[in-house]
Chains A and B, each alone.
Chain A
Amino acid sequence: MNKPLRRVAIFCGLLVLALLVRVNWVQYVKADELSKDPNNRRVLIDRYAHKRGDIIVQGKAITGSKESKSGDFKFQRTYKDGPMWAPVTGFTSQRMGSNQIESIEDGILTGTDDRLFFDRTLSMFTGDKKQGGHVVTTLNADAQRAAFKGLGSRKGAVAAIDPKTGAILALASTPSYDPSLVAGNTDKDVENWQKYEKDPDKPTVNRALRETYPPGSTFKVVTAAAALEHGLYDDIDGKTSTPLPWKLPLSTKNLENEGNLPCEDATLRVALKVSCNTVFGKVGADLGNDKMLETAEKFGFNKQQFVPVRSNASVFSKDMDKAQTALSSIGQFNTAATPLQMAMVASAIANDGSLMKPYMIDRLTDPNLDLLEKTSPEEMSRPLSADNAQKLQEMMETVVKEGTGTRAQIAGATVGGKTGTAQHGVDNSEKPYAWFISYAKTDQGSPVAVAVVVEDDDANREDISGGGFAAPIAKDVMKAVLDSK
């Protein structure tokens, strides 16, 4: 009977072999795929099993971790000054996922990123708990606070950039939400989230990056740049050939100015100071759609920015006729811009024509704050020559010195700016948006350019509202940056 016995032995051996092959398949070959399966709750448990790395502003963490009271997840995220920093951090929630920096740099923050492989391997041997790396932002806490405080209970957004590098210094959006209240895994967190989502004021929208507004008169800066760049006018103090009233091309309608302004043949400087629609409308029409589009796109229009959080693309349309181009050139018709975009416009001018790519993550570090990756400033484009940029600076400084933007003046610094009041809604039925873009300059160049938009302002309908409501906020933000230098 021994021959069949040996065969049975071989059969049993094959059974064991089949098991061994199978477990190798499941645990070795498929392990990676399985451990990333979104239905695998371990992915989530592991994510919250240890303290998440922090998002850091000027050496101080604006996030934290606390132990969850119940459930599978050990730690949950906390936020310091949550509503103020929400447009920067985004949120990470045990129930609702995550977004913005929390989502984009999730690998670093949770510690699963390949760049942290060495740390993970090391902690495997030392027995330390796995830790996440940190994200160090470029933001300036004082500037952010000034922006958030300045907006107060009004709806609006602020974006501030360091023109020399493109580093984002402030990114505020109001009304905001507190990511701490949605970070957990309880029904209360879900309720809070739903409340935020249902709120008609849209507190979870990052207005500084994701909302495009008609930029109103602030766009005249771009039009002025186009006029200089394409050689339509060379001298900012030379008369332009602008009749008053000026009839829109191919139309019977006149383009109106806001009030009785000295716009007839006004110089570019004066036209910007008092915000002449006629002058800049005609510049747009004279240049034509292609040239206007070229300049606008060099400033970053029609393109999403990744800072690394994505911003919506600002809009300057193609294929417009002369009248539409004229209207678009004074920031009406189809033109729409994010606060970030308008801050970029101001920063390019302040930086003598060089537009730096905006970014808000300075560096990624390992758990011990040792550098993993640093963002190096990068030029995005040159929308205008240094000469023309300086001419525009003069014009914008005039606006603040004696024009519509006097409220942005800062003692000891040169400030250039432009106000804007963007009408919108059918027949301008809705309340306008108050805009202000500006930069501040010292002997060492310009450390800050800022764009402020206040929605739904209770202002009167005059152009001054941009100067009245948005300019003081911009001033506070710029002052905060200047003071921290």
Chain B
Amino acid sequence: MSVVTNTTTIGAIEAPSRRNTELAMLAFAVIIPVFAYANVGLAKDGSLPAGMLGYGVGLSLLAGVAHLMVRKFAPYADPLMLPLATLLNGLGLVLIWRLDLEPSITTAAVGGAMAPKQMMWSAVGVALFLCVLLFLKDHRVLQRYTYISMVVALVLLILPMFFPGVNGAKIWITIPGLGSLQPGEFAKIIIAIFFAGYLMVKRDALALASRRFMGMYLPRGRDLGPILAIWALSLMILVFETDLGTSLLFFGLFVIMLYVATERTSWVVFGLTLSAAGAVGVASFASHVQSRVDNWLNPLALKDGGVTETAQAVYAFGSGGLFGSGLGQGYSRLIGGIAPKSDYILATVGEELGLTGLMAIILLYGLLIERGVRTALAARDPFGKLLAIGLSGAFALQVFVVAGGVTGVIPLTGMTMPFLAQGGSSVIANWALIAILLRISDTARRPAPAPAPSPDVEMTQVVRP
């Protein structure tokens, strides 16, 4: 340990475990949301909120237990991911609690106060995080479940079709007594496992056994088949469940993983062509897609004589300016309904924390994605590489699709901001996602086992990579 000072996650030999770094940063990740919590209370009532102690203790407890488990079961894991996820989750809780204080949007019709539930779901998420670390000793085990994963993912995706849609999107399933779940969030992880397993096996066939056509290498039909099937599937989800975000996410995920596996740019061109064709095709007959595009092009246009949600969100961003109004002092309630707590939670960030705060949040996401991609680079096995890039790619796409939709880079699609937005399935699934990434990075950064002591040591030269 004293010989090599290696600060990157790449670097195989005797990498420092960085657990103490993680602990120090976790302290920040807990303190910042607790301060934010106090801030909201002071802005709203002029006094420290009553739940502050409970909230602080709860968050510290979650972070502390997670840290201890990482220390024990994944000691070489990336030190940044857990603090980043904790900070985002903690800030999300504060924002939801802050929006809960607006009586006009915390009505019984939209489910009342959400923060306690979100806190509970966060606890469940961290529990799942711990389970993954505890039971998944080696991520390569997941390879065995390649085809089972495909089936599970398909089932999860198809399930919401049998449940009534909410706000025009059929992406929920309702379990009596438990509430609603968004299977798409879990399917995202499971399908990444399937892709990683499938591509690891097929990557040579896809990369090499292709015909040259107009300067591009096109794959053989039997290799192309599953890809077309996935493309068709993502479009079907789009059409039947009116879920733009998930279909975009899955397709993008697949193109990224395919590109990484085969190292062929033609796949990207091919994928983009397909998705463009699909998007244009669907947009030309699906009215809800058209209205989303309309909203995107004219965000401030009045509809039915009133200001639209989209416009309200844009106004929220605009009024935030550089430094924001301060937590608790904005008017994101004008967006109305549950939207400010889920789809438009970034609007609250933009309004109350300003450009500065919003950029900070985006950079937090950027950092988390970067740690994921770094894990992929550091992983030594192709399956781990593919899975890590798949998960971080999915995470990146989701962040971009949601944040881009809310801020108006692209048309709005119904997805949740990971960790930040209200939503049980999202929090749980993303904690699991982080756990798998941590597991991969732990394996990647774990020092190579010391060579077994050999009596012939003087005769043999050990060559280490």
**Chain A residues in contact with chain B, CB under 8 A?**
1-9, 11-13, 15-16, 18-20, 22-24, 26-28, 30-31, 33-35, 37, 39-42, 45, 72
Contacts and interface: CB of A to CB of B under 8 A. Distances in A.
17 contacts: A3-B263, A4-B260, A5-B260, A8-B393, A12-B392, A12-B396, A15-B399, A16-B362, A19-B407, A20-B363, A23-B350, A23-B407, A24-B359, A27-B322, A27-B358, A39-B315, A41-B315
A84 to B, nearest CB: 37
B315 A23 contact: no
Given A8-B373, A19-B409, A26-B407, A37 B315 contact: yes
A247 to B, nearest CB: 65
Nearest to A40: B315
A6 B404 CA distance: 23
A37 B301 CA distance: 12
Given A3-B263, A12-B392, A16-B369, A23 B358 contact: yes
Contacts of A8: 256, 259-260, 373, 389, 393
Contacts of A13: 366, 370
B95 interface: no
A18 B404 contact: yes
Interface class of chain A by DSSP:
helix
Contacts of A42: 315, 319, 331, 334
A125 to B, nearest CB: 12
Contacts of B365: 16
Contacts of B386: 1
Contacts, number: 133
B359 A31 contact: no
Contact of B331 (A19, A24, A39, A45): A45
Given A19-B362, A20-B362, A26-B314, A1 B319 contact: no
B433 to A, nearest CB: 15
B382 interface: yes
A27 B366 contact: no
Nearest to A6: B377
Contacts of B263: 1, 3-4
B110 interface: no
Contact of B366 (A16, A34, A35, A72): A16
A171 B359 CA distance: 55
Contacts of B334: 41-42
- Which among A5, A20, A42 has the highest number of chain B CB atoms within 10 Å? A5
A39 B407 contact: no
A4 to B, nearest CB: 5
Contacts of B389: 5, 8
A13 to B, nearest CB: 7
Contacts of B366: 12-13, 16
A42 B332 CA distance: 10
A112 to B, nearest CB: 13
A31 B397 CA distance: 27
Contacts of B34: none
B354 interface: yes
Contacts of B322: 27-28, 31
B459 to A, nearest CB: 36
A98 B318 CA distance: 25
Interface in B298-337: 300, 302, 307, 311, 314-315, 317-322, 331, 334
A347 to B, nearest CB: 48
A9 B370 contact: yes
Interface in B346-368: 350, 354-355, 358-359, 362-363, 365-366
B429 to A, nearest CB: 19
Contacts of B300: 37, 39
Contacts of B439: none
B403 interface: yes
B318 A9 contact: no
Contacts of A28: 321-322, 355
B407 A22 contact: yes
A385 to B, nearest CB: 59
B420 interface: no
B408 interface: yes
Given A22-B408, A26-B318, A5 B376 contact: yes
A185 to B, nearest CB: 14
B198 interface: no
Given A27-B317, A42-B331, 19 more contacts: A1-B263, A1-B382, A1-B385, A6-B377, A9-B373, A12-B366, A15-B397, A16-B363, A16-B365, A19-B362, A22-B404, A24-B359, A27-B355, A35-B321, A39-B300, A40-B307, A40-B319, A41-B334, A42-B319
